[in-house]
Amino acid sequence: MKLADWLKKAQQEHFALGAFNVDSLEIFEAVAQSGQALKSPVMAEVSPGQVKSLGLQNIAALRENLSEEFGTRIFLNLDHADDLDIINSAIELGFDLVHFDGSKLPLDENMELARQVVEAAHKTGTLVEGEIDHFPGSSEPHSNKMGREKESTDSHLTEPGQAQEFVAETGVDIFAAFIGNKHGTYADGSERLNLEHLTKIRETLPQTFLSLHGGSGITSPDIAAAVSSGIVKVNVSTELRVAFRDTLENILKGNPEEYAWYKLTAPAIEAVREVVEGKIKIFGSAGKAS
């Protein structure tokens, strides 16, 4: 089954695919192992910064190698990309999805470039995700409370009519909805989704796949409710980074004379697996690939 088939299945059966950002071979391996363990399709995604670090060709090769090694269906997504050259390279390398992020551009320019991406991607069967709202936050833990930033988040949600225009004009397959979600995690734990607004967007775009960014900072009940309301793809990054780094730091402190990298990282990989498998269960995709 291709990605589009899986997203249709998710839409019909009310589950979502987890889209997990991979910073390294170790995190990529944890995602693949989790898919194998829970018999779930998974999506590995890379941001432009991660592409710069790992290299597009290496990422594509890792997908093929890990898919074969673990027998896991791994889809590849280029996440939040705005460079058309990188996007076209990802399409040529067989990425299943490219996310064109023109949210910082005027709407007309965003739509024009998104149309170009869709035209190029659809020639090879690659899907395209687009967005019109710039998602706040960053993929890291934030110690500050949301305060004024939360007020701004609550008052600026994706306008359904504008989303409908964007999808109609560009032909994107997946629309990234802004319903109170933010990148990162927040100390006060008060980040909540506006599920009523999601319903409005779902009603406006009944045939379009909807994605949810910022899956690390949202409560499990909210994510489960969003999936029930039509979200078919949930992005997760921060919790993976935190699990890997915190575990690795503890291992390094406790083993000052160990220099074998694979021995040091094994517990960190397991920590990331725990996060990924927990998300897969919340998203409802466990067992779907059996």
Active-site annotation, residues: 79
Helix (H) or strand (E) holding 83: none
Other Cβ atoms closer than 10 A to 161: 10
Distance CA 33, CA 71 (A): 9
Measured distance between the N- and C-terminal CA atoms of the chain, rounded to whole angstroms? 13
Structural contact between residues 41 and 289, judged by C-beta atoms closer than 8 angstroms: yes
Distance CA 290, CA 288 (A): 6
Structural contact between residues 110 and 129, judged by C-beta atoms closer than 8 angstroms: no
Q: Which residue is listed with tokens 């990054």?
A: 237
